[in-house]
Structure 1
Amino acid sequence: MDLSVSPHGPLRTDRPDLAAYLAADAVVDHDHPAIVALAAELRRADPVRTAEAVFEHVRDRIDHSADVGHWSAAYRASDVLAAGNAICHGKSHLLAALMRANGIPAGLCYQKLDVLHGLNGVLLPGSPWWVRLDGRGNRNGADGHFATTPAEERPAWANDPALGEHHYTTVYATPPRELLDGLRDGVPGSVGYGYLPLELPDRD
Structure 2
Amino acid sequence: MNLILETDDLDAYRKSSDIIDYQVAAIRERAVRITEGIQDDLEIIRTVYHFVRDEIAHSVDIQGTVVTCKASEALEHRQGICYAKAHLLAALLRSLGIPTGFCYQKLVLDDEDKPWLVLHGLNAVYIESLKKWIRLDARGNKAGVTAEFSTVEEKLAFEVRTELGEQEDLMIYVRPSTNAVHALTHSKTVEELLAHLPAEV
TM-score (norm. length: structure 2):
0.89
Match of 1:156 in 2: 157
TM-fit CA distance, 1:192: 5.0
For residues 173 and 185 of structure 2, what CA distance do their matches in structure 1 show?
A: 18
Mapping of 1:1-204 within 5 angstroms? 9-43=1-35, 44-114=38-108, 115-149=118-152, 152-190=153-191, 193-200=194-201
Question: What is aligned with 2:111?
Answer: none
Task: Measure the CA separation in 2 of the matches of 1:133 and 1:158.
Answer: 13
Q: Identify which range, 188-197 or 163-172, moves more after superposition.
A: 188-197
| Structure 1: gaps of 5 or more residues | 1-8
Aligned partner letter, 1:38: R
Structure-2 change in CA distance of 1:128 and 1:163 (3 Å): same
Matched residues in 2 for 1:66 and 1:179: separation? 16
> What is the TM-score of this pair, normalised by structure 1?
0.88
What is the root-mean-square deviation in Å for CA atoms of aligned residues?
1.4
Higher strand share: 2
Tell me the SS of whatever aligns to 1:95.
helix
SS at match of 1:110: strand
CA distance in 2, matches of 1:172, 1:97: 14
Q: 1:96 to 1:40 in 2, by over 3 A?
A: same
Percent identity over paired residues: 36
Equivalent pairs, count: 190
Give the 3-state SS of the residue equivalent to 1:94 in structure 2. Answer: helix
Partners of 2:130 and 2:187 in 1: CA distance: 36
**CA pair 107-39 structure 1, distance change in 2 beyond 3 A:** same
What secondary structure sits across from 2:120 in the alignment? strand
